[in-house]
Chain A
Amino acid sequence: MSLELVVQQALNGISFGALLFILAAGLSLIFGMMDVVNLAHGAFYMLGAYVALQVVQITGQFWIAIVVAPVVLAAVGFVIEPLLLRRLRGRHLDQVLLTIGVGFVIVDLIGLYWGREVRTLPFPPGFDRSIDIGGSAYPTYRLFVIAFAVLLAGTLYWIHRRTAMGALIRAGVDDAQMLSALGVDTDRLFAITFAVGAGLAGLAGVVAAPAFGIQPGMDVDALIFSLIVVVVGGLGTLNGAAAGAALVGPAETFGKVLFPQFALALIFAIMAVILLGRPSGLFGRIRIGR
């Protein structure tokens, strides 16, 4: 591999990682707060892509879709949490099973409404081509994905660290029972958290759609990658999602290109090595009583 090729593939890997961060952030957030591995996360991601498709078909505007789809998904999350998950609070395995069911239902409803054909979302205007980087062409949309993810990470970090909402979330992650005892309405907090997590999945769906297409089965791929990212990075923390994505994205890209037969095995090998050294992931919290 020439240096130029290495640089290009590194950019490819980083932009894939950027997408993984958007995807994994929501999963990690919900887990951190509610102790629930939301296995409907892949279905939320898929629904985000299809909502975006619908919006683009109606308005012709990608930029409207990138706002509308996460909002719709947040609304879905905001309804599902009180309606279904809350009834099983404290029964975590049941909640996880419930999210699997929710995912199946969403995926089948998508199939009924939008069909099961492969679809694509056009690139937003101006992002359908390549620009020259160091003498070789590089797709502008992938640069947009990197920039967008960095911006999103900054925003999330700021909310997490500097706002009252962020303080509540951090407190909830540490000890939700204590937070409740202090008079905070944790029901509302959980619903909001679940909504934000679902919204982030939807956002990832929109951002991924132009580059990776829209098709049945995309939910499973997304779920697996987001689980790998949060396990490697550490559950329940934003830093963990970022670190996991930064590692898994490039590893996946280089693995696929250099050792196509072992690409998936490479990812799992990395995961195994990290878990041996740090059982709770790179930035996972070791908690009292665990």
Chain B
Amino acid sequence: MEPSERPERRPKITRRGFLVAGSAAALVAACAPAAAPSPSPTTAAATKAAATAAATTAVSTPGPTLKLGMLLPFTKVYAELGASQKRAAELYLKQAGGKLANRSVQFIFEDEANDPQVGLQKTQKFIEQDQADLMMGIIATPIAYAIRNAVDSAKFIYIGTNAGGNAMTRDTTDCKPTCKSKYVFRTSFSAWQVSQPLGEWLSRTPATKEFFLCFSNYAFGTESAAAFVEGLAKNGGKETGRVAPPLFNSDFVPFVTQIKAQSTKNVYSFFSGTDAIGYIRAWNQLGMPAAGYKMFGAGFLTEQDVLKEVKDQANGAITSLFWSVELDNPENKAFRDLYQKEYNLLPDVFAVQMWDGMKALDEALKKTGGNTKDKDALIAALEGVSFKSPRGDFSFDKATHNVIHDIYIREVKTAGGQTVNTIVDKFGKVTDPGK
């Protein structure tokens, strides 16, 4: 047969070629650093702390506009966390009359798209193109690690409002995977701060000395599990085994099946957001509570985003965190009321973390008279900040620039149709062991 007799409809490679191109595009999109989030909240007190007399005088002369780079996720899986922090930042500025100290503020919001490379580019944009005074934000730890050297070498102050990887505020060997910098502060938490106290608290009781571990398999999940085991060891507790689902795992039934096939009834469970919801639902579907299994974990397991979907299915879970929407103090009440009035929804822990970041910056600027040019003076002012936050007493560890705060042990309870984290105990002034 002559080739010309039957014209080919298309070149040979098209079909497979299309598929390859298409798959590659999809894969690139999907695999683009599934940077993990390290969730946790902090809030600065809604009531303004009294500024020092000296600051008050300095503040009276208006300064130039303060450019504040805000690096947050507005797309992909953490979009809602970014939205929450944006709301908190805008609300803080609004209630402060549009100014921090004597400087009116221009926010420059950029989307880090949960991608360390994008995060680094946007950080460089803040530094070079925007000539921003300083920056805040970042949800996922890998992005915070990726920008550390850039802000350090540019002597550009960054106030972290979520990413909780331990190394960000610690001295590490050869600075791997990263290390503290005098230009980096963190108002959120470290992985250690959230999980170690829970392990220590539980291991005081004979019934809760042995734990099976189930945690999201990424840096923050692994660090959290390690901190929990470290806490257990304080009172002779230990781990009996572990299983680690990938981050953003869609199907949790196979993992809960594995848990049920072993005999340790206490299960440390580190998950947040979508993973936490999937895990708790699978847990109940397989009848774990009836079989005597109990869930424990870092507070993200049972924050509002999760509880509003799983409701009483989370009952009995014991978790640790530095805040809870029900926390009973005047600052939290004021913050909650203000936030609810403005947005008609309850604040979450991420909002608190950003609120406290804004508050800390506000307080520091009052001390420097609004000066951001003298970096050493601003760093010293930030180091000295301390105020009543919705989470309780807030201050920075001068050695590491990580937050020092109380950690609450909470139990999920349902009463009157409301499922909430009830505070059962408290660890005062928990400081990350980093030097």
Residues of A within 8 A of B (CB): 2, 4-5, 8-9, 12-13, 16, 35, 37, 39, 42, 92-93, 96, 100, 111, 115-120, 123, 128-130, 136-137, 139, 141-142, 177, 211-213, 215-218, 220-221, 223-224, 227, 231, 235, 253, 256-257, 260-261, 263-264, 279, 288-290
Docked complex Cα distance between A257 and B242 (Å):
11
CB within 8 Å for A216 and B254 given contacts A96-B22, A141-B285, A221-B30: no
Q: Is the CB of B246 within 8 A of A263?
A: yes
Closest to A118 in B: B274
Given contacts A92-B18, A217-B76, 15 further A-B contacts (CB under 8 A): A5-B258, A5-B261, A9-B257, A35-B10, A37-B19, A118-B274, A118-B306, A137-B286, A142-B253, A177-B9, A215-B273, A256-B245, A256-B254, A260-B246, A289-B12
Cross-interface CB contact of B309 among A115, A120, A217, cutoff 8 Å: A120
The 8 A CB mask of B242-285 against A (1 = contact, 0 = none) is 01111011110111011011000000000001100110011011
- CB-CB under 8 A from A39, the residues of chain B are 22, 25-26
* A-B contact list, 23 entries, CB within 8 Å: A2-B261, A37-B22, A92-B10, A93-B21, A96-B21, A100-B22, A117-B305, A120-B309, A139-B286, A142-B253, A177-B9, A212-B251, A212-B278, A217-B248, A227-B19, A227-B22, A256-B245, A256-B251, A257-B258, A260-B217, A260-B243, A263-B246, A279-B16
Decide yes or no whether B373 CB sits under 8 A from chain A: no
Are A289 and B254 touching (Cβ within 8 A)?
no
User: A217 to B25, Cβ gap below 8 A?
Assistant: no
- With A212-B278, A263-B246 known as contacts, the answer to whether A12 contacts B253 (CB < 8 A) is yes
Is the beta-carbon distance between A217 and B255 smaller than 8 angstroms? no
Smallest CB separation, B95 vs chain A (Å): 25
**CB–CB B217/A92 < 8 A:** no
Asked if A290 contacts B18 (CB within 8 A), the reply is no
Chain A residues closer than 8 Å to B244, beta-carbon distance: 260
Report Cα–Cα, A116/B87, bound state, in Å.
Answer: 14
Q: Which residue of A lies closest to B249 (CB)?
A: A256
Closest to A121 in B: B309
A118-B305, A217-B77 in contact; A12/B257 too (CB < 8 A)?
Answer: yes
Q: Quick check: is B29 within 8 A (CB to CB) of the other chain?
A: yes
* Residues of B contacting A: mostly: helix
Say whether, besides A16-B251, A256-B246, A120 and B257 are in contact (CB < 8 Å): no
In the complex, the number of residue pairs spanning A and B with C-beta atoms less than 8 Å apart equals 146
B6 in the interface (beta carbon within 8 A): yes
Residue B338 interfacial (CB < 8 Å): no
A218-B285 Cα distance, complex, nearest whole Å: 21
**Chain B contacts with A in 296-339, Cβ cutoff 8 A:** 305-306, 309-310
A218 CA to B255 CA, complexed, in Å: 20
Number of B interface residues at 8 Å Cβ cutoff, please give it. Answer: 55
* C-alpha gap A263/B15 in the complex (Å): 28
Our pick among B8, B19, B23, B245 for the contact of A260 (Cβ within 8 Å) is B245
A118 to B254, CA, bound (A): 21
Is B96 in the interface zone, CB < 8 Å from A? no
Whether B80 is near chain A, meaning CB under 8 Å from some CB there, is: yes
* Contact A130 B245, beta carbon cutoff 8 Å: no
A111 surroundings in chain B (CB, below 8 A): 79
Most central of A100, A115, A117 by chain B CB within 10 Å = A117
Q: Are B83 and A257 in contact (CB under 8 A)?
A: no
Identity of the chain B residue whose Cβ is nearest the Cβ of A268 in the assembled complex: B27
Q: Say which residue of A118, A141, A231 sits within 8 Å of B19 (CB atoms).
A: A231
Which 3 residue pairs across A and B have the least CB separation, nearest first? A116-B79, A139-B285, A37-B22
**Interface status of B173 (Cβ within 8 A of chain A):** no
| Residues on the B chain within 8 Å of A177, using CB | 9
Shortest Cβ gap from A118 to chain B (Å): 4
In the bound complex, what is the Cα–Cα distance between A257 and B22 (angstroms)?
A: 29
A224 touches B30 (CB 8 A): yes
203-223 of chain B: CB within 8 A of chain A: 217
Residue of A nearest to B34 (CB): A217
* Chain A residues positioned under 8 Å from B306 (CB to CB): 118
**A263 and B260 alpha carbons, distance in the complex (Å):** 21
Nearest-neighbour CB distance to chain B for A197, whole angstroms, equals 15
Given known contacts A9-B257, A35-B15, A116 and B80 CB-to-CB distance under 8 angstroms: yes
A93 touches B18 (CB 8 A): yes
